[in-house]
Amino acid sequence: MTLLSAPHLVFVLFLAAAVSPGADDRDACKLGVEQYTKVKAEVEAATQVFAECVAQPRMSSCTVEFDELEVLQDRLESIVADYRDACP
């Protein structure tokens, strides 16, 4: 095994620190996971409400329920994009 000279060792340590995620990066990733979990639960709940509306025996367009799903789907897309940026 070859020992690294002091300048090489300093360079290797500097490089490792440069590519390691910092606290801010980890916090952003953690926030991304939390936001995804929250909006996922909201989408699941809104899907259930929409399904219940459609299943009713009376005729209904369920427009309000569908619109809510559409809004949540847009939020989900945005949060997934933020997550991908924060958690490479």
The answer to the question of residue 3 being in a domain is: no
For the chain, the domain total comes to: 1
Q: Is the pLDDT of residue 13 over 50?
A: no
Quote the pLDDT of residue 41: 97
| Dist. CA 31–CA 56, nearest whole Å | 38
The answer to the question of residue 28 being in a domain is: yes
Quote the pLDDT of residue 7: 53
| Dist. CA 24–CA 69, nearest whole Å | 32
Domain range for 71 is: 23-86
| Dist. CA 37–CA 15, nearest whole Å | 34
Please give the full DSSP string across 48-84, using - where no structure is assigned: HHHHHHHHSSS----HHHHHHHHHHHHHHHHHHHHHH
The answer to the question of residue 10 being in a domain is: no
pLDDT confidence bin for 18, thresholds 50/70/90: very low
The answer to the question of residue 14 being in a domain is: no
| Dist. CA 84–CA 44, nearest whole Å | 21
The answer to the question of residue 7 being in a domain is: no
Whole-model pTM?
A: 0.66
